[in-house]
Structure 1
Amino acid sequence: MEFDLTWILLGLPAAFALGWVASRLDLRQMRIANRQAPRAYFKGLNYLLNEQQDQAIDAFIEAVQNDPDTSELHFALGNLFRRRGEYDRAVRVHEHLISRGDLNNADRQRAQHGLALDFLKAGLLDRAEEALRKLEGTSYEGQARLARLAIYERSREWPEATSVARLLENSGEANFGIRMAHYQCELAREAVQQGDAVKALGILTAVIQNTPTAPRPRILLGQLQLSQGQAQTAFHTLSTLFERADITAPLAAASLAKAALLAQQTQEALKLLNAHYQRQPCIDVLEAITTLQANDPDGAAQAQQLYLDHLQKQPSLMAATRWLTGQNQQPQPLPAPVQKALEQAIRPLARYRCAACGFEAKEHFWHCPGCQAWDSYPPRRVEEL
């Protein structure tokens, strides 16, 4: 008994000493690892701030290898890969994060959102849509719905776009009433292209009832009615824009004049057009007025005077060219090369320009083909901006 107790007393200090040495070694290794990981991290951050993305990625990969459980470094790598256009590597990083069982719910949602952005940037819209749908009910729900809305607009899936826009409006994100009216107008245009004018008339009539302040469905409806031989109905449809002094009314001026001539509503149309022109002089409205006055015996002289009056209000090469065109009826008309040169000079001025991206086009677009913005085209020509 005495022998056993002696060995125990001798062994306890030895065991304590060995444990202490082992713990010191472990602490030293942990300190070395902890020093290496931040050093690699800060090195990558320094490269990133200096816009040296290749070196930054190498540094972050080194940090991840030293500590593979660090999710923040994975997120940083994924974002860097996406910014560099290496979408397949970004996808692998975010899919690896999602597959980790130790990831908390917030980081899992963040990784899912990053994966959706990877697919979006890569142009894989189907996979992006699928990834975005998985974010329903998360803190990224609003951003995901907006991204899905952009996908549906880009792919011209108007029923799906309407459904998502309604969800966004119901959640209080913004008012999408006018945007949804545009979607219905696009459906009406597709129906016209397919030869189904009855369906298009029904769609546009319903949109006007649901969103009476939206100008585009009224303009399209009036033009469609005019093409169907319903001149009187088209005149009443389009005249509403001028009665309420809508800023988009000039876009309907030519159609209103044509409908008025066919429906024998010339005087009523002149009153509306003149009232709008007095509020806001515009070359499109002015040309509609001259069209209505063309049948008068002295209509040509009146048109010449109108263009001169317009030039006194604001300088306009388009108005000057129209005036000179009228002068061609005089005994000494302009030479043909001069007339051709003037027409070519005003061509760029007669375009419409997107206020968001500057994209110019001969016709007015409600949805900019350049930047995909809605209602970004002012209803006035480039010369009048």
Structure 2
Amino acid sequence: MELDLTWILLGLPTAFALGWIASRLDLRQMRIANRQAPRAYFKGLNHLLNEQQDQAIDSFIEAVQNDPDTSELHFALGNLFRRRGEYDRAVRVHEHLLSRADISHADRQRAQHGLALDYLKAGLLDRAEEALRKLEGTSYEGQARLARMAIYERSREWPEAAEVALLLEKSGEADFGIRLAHYQCEQAREAVQKGDSAKALELLAHALQAHPHAPRPRLLMGQLQLSHGQAPAAYDTLSVLFEHNDMAAPLAAASFAQAALACDKAASASALLQAHYLRHPCIDVLDAITALEAQNSQSAAKPDAPALQRYLNHLQNHPSMMAASRWLNGDHHKWGALPEPVQKTLENATKPLARYRCAACGFEAKEHFWHCPGCQSWDSYPPRRVEEL
């Protein structure tokens, strides 16, 4: 059969025309898709500015479907899911980014950081720790270490927290000396709860040696020494707080007065307390002074007039329900014993004023915390009662 050149001459232009038409259709489709992706992206931004997160997510999903290779849209979606509390969806987005071989090294680190944040917000601390460890040696190393330290603090893994704090300190992030002292104090408290006072004293001594300006190790050591009948040692340990006019000294006032009475150093202790009170008037220090003076009074049946006068002087310069309550309860020779309803009313009125309040979150507690149980901040509790703030 002979080849008909006529069909070939007719077929070539036809094939060319069909190819040209197909390419034009593809280009048109690409232009439509490219127009739709930015439109959906800008719609999502507009919804975000209007705080309409549901609509923003829908718009970004539409943009991702139109342009699945755009990593920025995936990051935006992951952040939105995390902010909405949809942590499983946020994890899937960031895991998808990490599984891609075409993203840059910087974007891979960013996705790993986003994945760690997803686990942190979801409360999956083990997975978060593992994800954060993978950020060592990256531009997110400092943030990852701070997050790991927070995880160890929440789980009360103090040695691990100290290890990370030392790494941060060596890298020049900040000075974590006081924080490291807190970690040793927490370990000492756990040792005391287990009945290992020797280990607790060793930890506190090491903390004092490494961080002599940290008040908490000195306070805990003095209280521990006092509880074990070592009053002279407790006196020497706690007196430093008052000699240096440490702001945390009021927390040690009661223990310091007990140690002074036990080792017959009431006079020197009273002098230190009064000197501190003149610089920083405080009801706890005043209570310690009056306790020492009351113990030294010759007659226990007769109220100590100078002690009561101190509360009156305090009231003149610093109006205080707590001081007024103490004066009323102590001035029995003039008023007689207060009726029980009056005493109960005074106690109920002064209880809220005797609490401590976190300066970071406002959490109030009967006892002073070095680590706020509400916001997890360190040293956020002033060593003064609510009434004195």
Task: Give the structure-1-normalised TM-score.
Answer: 0.95
Structure 2 counterpart of 1:77: 77
**C-alpha distance in 2 between matches for 1:332 and 1:209:** 52
Quick one: which amino acid aligns to residue 33 of structure 2?
A
Note the C-alpha offset of 1:238.
0.2
Quick one: which amino acid aligns to residue 195 of structure 1?
G
Note the C-alpha offset of 1:186.
0.1
- Greater Cα offset, 333-342 or 123-132: 333-342
Structure 2 counterpart of 1:293: 293
Instruction: Tell me the secondary structure at the aligned position of residue 294 of structure 1.
Output: helix
Q: Are 2:317 and 1:313 aligned?
A: yes
Note the C-alpha offset of 1:344.
1.1
Structure 1 counterpart of 2:154: 154
Note the C-alpha offset of 1:5.
12
**C-alpha distance in 2 between matches for 1:377 and 1:203:** 23
**C-alpha distance in 2 between matches for 1:188 and 1:332:** 46
Quick one: which amino acid aligns to residue 320 of structure 1?
A
**C-alpha distance in 2 between matches for 1:353 and 1:85:** 30
Structure 2 counterpart of 1:58: 58
Note the C-alpha offset of 1:370.
0.5
- State which of 362, 381, 385 in structure 2 corresponds to 1:381: 385
Structure 1 counterpart of 2:144: 144
Q: Deviations over 1:317-354 (max 9, x none)?
A: 11111100012244633322112111110110011110
Quick one: which amino acid aligns to residue 31 of structure 1?
R
Superposed counterparts of 1:171-320, under 5 Å: 171-295=171-295, 296-297=297-298, 300-320=304-324
Note the C-alpha offset of 1:359.
0.5
Note the C-alpha offset of 1:51.
2.1
**C-alpha distance in 1 between matches for 2:224 and 2:356:** 23
Over 3 Å counting, the alpha-carbon distance change for 1:13 and 1:331 in structure 2 is closer
- Greater Cα offset, 361-370 or 325-334: 325-334
Quick one: which amino acid aligns to residue 97 of structure 1?
L
Show structure 1 runs of 5+ residues with no match: none
Show structure 2 runs of 5+ residues with no match: none
Q: Deviations over 1:147-170 (max 9, x none)?
A: 111100011000000000011111
Quick one: which amino acid aligns to residue 96 of structure 2?
H
Structure 1 counterpart of 2:376: 372
Q: Are 2:124 and 1:119 aligned?
A: no
Structure 2 counterpart of 1:324: 328
Note the C-alpha offset of 1:4.
12
- 8 Å contact kept, 1:251–1:284: yes
For this pair of structures, how many residues does the alignment match?
Answer: 383
**C-alpha distance in 1 between matches for 2:84 and 2:127:** 20
- 8 Å contact kept, 1:327–1:334: no
**C-alpha distance in 1 between matches for 2:330 and 2:375:** 39
Q: Deviations over 1:215-243 (max 9, x none)?
A: 00000000000011110000000000000
Note the C-alpha offset of 1:14.
7.2
- 8 Å contact kept, 1:95–1:115: yes
Q: RMSD of the alignment, in Å?
A: 2.1
Note the C-alpha offset of 1:11.
8.8
Structure 1 counterpart of 2:348: 344
% identity of equivalent residues: 77
Quick one: which amino acid aligns to residue 276 of structure 2?
H
Quick one: which amino acid aligns to residue 215 of structure 1?
P
Quick one: which amino acid aligns to residue 306 of structure 1?
R
**C-alpha distance in 2 between matches for 1:170 and 1:8:** 79
- 8 Å contact kept, 1:81–1:89: yes
- 8 Å contact kept, 1:235–1:260: yes
**C-alpha distance in 2 between matches for 1:88 and 1:365:** 35
Note the C-alpha offset of 1:177.
0.4
